[in-house]
Amino acid sequence: MSKAFDAVVAREENLLCRSYSRYPLAIVRGKGSRLWDVDGKEYVDLLAGIAVVGLGHCNDEICDALAAQSRKLWHVSNLFYQEEQLELAEKLLATTHHEKAFFCNSGAEANEALIKLARRYMRSVKQRDAFEIITLGNCFHGRTLGALAATGRESLSDGFTPLPEGFAQVPAGDLAALEAAISGKTAAVLLECVQGEGGVLPLPAEYLKGVEALCRKKDILLLCDEVQAGMGRTGKFWAFQNYDIRPDAISVAKSLANGLPMGAMLATSEAARGFVAGSHATTFGGGALVSAVAAKTIEIMQRDGLVERAGQLGAQVRAEAEALMRRLPGKIREVRGLGLMIGIELCEDGTEVWKELIRRGFICNLSHGVTLRLLPPLNVDKADLDAFLAVLEDILQGR
Ligand SMILES: *Cc1c(COP(=O)(O)O)cnc(C)c1O
């Protein structure tokens, strides 16, 4: 590592809470699918800030929209009507069967809104004392206390207990276990159609149809966490649309505003009936600046056909990764994903492979120590992905 990098690390040691384990990189600049570190070295970014910068870094059109809005209005709070919010809501709701939007600032907060919506709906609309949210094993819903309780992973809640009550978890893919877990106190099932942090695990289509049917039969809500898989990444605007299911409400965040912090919950009018004036709120949610940027993000995605492209390009890259798996027996266990959410699970611990990829200028994530996770910008050049696979082949061959 260089002197410049070491200096950044030493400085951070003294300043920030040690809650992150960082990659060995200090980034100073980005453009499209490229990043540059403190030493001026260039990287191909196939992570996009964890599926956040969907249109690439410092996208010119987004920069222009941001600059224009920054001179018009930033923030007035939700005490006021703001047309930027409405324009964004119209664009978002046109992509789905949902009818109502609530804006917030992050994925965890969007999931908190889902949880609160489900509980309110049961209590105030259905007049049932149903509050429990059932989630699936290996899920990730965020780090606030409610979202942590939903995530139900002890390694993440260590030292933070007690967590809020009213959460239960069943293994993903097991319909009988889900049915057995549903009781009179169940308000909703919350799931990711493609588990992201879990290591890029698409849930089986029959299972998701089965979950939906169970929710209808038991008269509880189906909630989808679209924080990572939503916004076009899987080749449909929303991941659930790959599976022909109709969740009552969904959460959105990561790439919603192409890197500005923003989240949203989208719900059917029926599911949203529990939210009345005063029942839920946030100071920053849907501010004019982030809303204008998010609206521009969606406009560009749709104009440039990036959603369809994500589906096609992702399928191509997965096929090529599978060919690589066959060429190099014993190196790659499985290639998974949907659209530009791609997981390449290695047969052995991938730490060294992942580090070597970074050394050779490719940034991706290593999930659970074995799965290389790619979440590139939706407008990434195919050549960048080709180059990644070529370098990966070279690295795996040499091992
Ligand atoms: C990242 C993520 C979250 C949490 O989002 P934050 O913005 O970090 O709070 C929740 N759910 C899923 C599926 C995610 O990928």
Q: Is 228 annotated as a binding residue?
A: yes
pLDDT at position 187: 98
Is the pLDDT confidence value at 115 over 90?
A: yes
CATH number assigned to the domain covering 3-58+305-397? 3.90.1150.10
Neighbouring CB atoms inside 10 A of 326's CB total 8
- Longest alpha-carbon distance in the chain: 64
Tell me the average pLDDT across 236-244.
Answer: 98
Task: Locate the ligand 1 atom nearest the alpha carbon of residue 111 and give its number.
Answer: 10
Please, which pLDDT band fits residue 27 given cuts at 50, 70 and 90? very high
- Residue 72 Cα to ligand 1 midpoint, Å, equals 30
Cβ-Cβ contacts under 8 Å for 184 (sequence gap 6 or more): 128, 130
For residues 273 and 249, is the Cβ–Cβ distance under 8 A? no
107 is in an annotated binding site: yes
Query: Residue 186: is its pLDDT beyond 80?
Result: yes
- Residue type present at position 382: K
Looking from the CA of residue 261, the nearest atom of ligand 1 is 7
Q: Any binding-site annotation on 143?
A: yes
Contact 266, 250 (CB under 8 A): yes
Per domain, the residue ranges of the chain are: 3-58+305-397, 73-303
* pLDDT at 398 (0 to 100): 87
Ligand 1 neighbours (beta carbon < 6 A): 106-108, 111, 140-142, 192, 196-197, 225, 227-228, 253-254
Topology, domain 73-303: Aspartate Aminotransferase; domain 2 (3.40.640)
Q: Does the annotation list 283 as a binding residue? A: yes
Tokens 């009018």, located at residue? 269
Q: Is 226 marked as binding a ligand?
A: yes
Per residue in 320-355, pLDDT tens? 999 999 999 999 999 999 999 999 999 999 999 999
Specify whether the CB–CB gap between 85 and 288 falls below 8 A. Answer: yes
Distance 236 CA to ligand 1 centre (A): 19
The answer to whether the CB of 178 falls within 8 A of the CB of 211 is: yes
Q: What is the pLDDT of residues 138-148, one digit of tens each?
A: 999 999 999 99
Q: Which of 254, 260, 341, 365 to mutate to test the pocket of ligand 1 (most atoms within 8 A of CB)?
A: 254
> The pTM is what?
0.98
Query: Separation of 396 CA from ligand 1 center, angstroms?
Result: 31
Q: Residue 1 above 90 pLDDT?
A: no
pLDDT confidence of residue 169: 98
| 324 CA from centroid of ligand 1 (Å) | 31
230 is in an annotated binding site: no
Compute CA distances 54 → 89, 254, 300, 307, whole Å.
Answer: 19, 9, 11, 10
Q: Which ligand 1 atom minimizes the distance to the CA of 254?
A: 7
Ligand 1 centroid distance, CA of 328 (Å): 34
Q: What separation in angstroms does the CA of 259 have from each of 48, 143, 254, 256?
A: 9, 19, 7, 8
Residue 399 has what pLDDT?
81
- Taking the centre of ligand 1 as the mean of its atom positions, its distance from the CA of residue 131, in whole angstroms, is 22
Distance 195 CA to ligand 1 centre (A): 11
Type of residue found at 245: I
Q: Is 225 one of the annotated binding-site residues?
A: yes
pLDDT value, residue 293: 98
Instruction: Quick: pLDDT tens for 66-101.
Output: 999 999 999 999 999 999 999 999 999 999 999 999
Query: Which phi and psi angles does 327 have, rounded to 5°?
Result: -70, -30
The ligand 1 atom at the shortest distance from the C-alpha of residue 192 is 13
Best probe residue, ligand 1, of 20, 53, 223, 227 (max atoms within 8 Å of C-beta): 227
**Residue range 27-56: mean pLDDT, rounded:** 98
Summary mean pLDDT of the chain: 97
Contacts of 270 (CB under 8 A, 6+ apart): 125, 248
Q: Same CATH fold, 73-303 and 3-58+305-397?
A: no
Q: Which amino acid is at 88?
A: L
Share of the chain above pLDDT 70, in %: 100
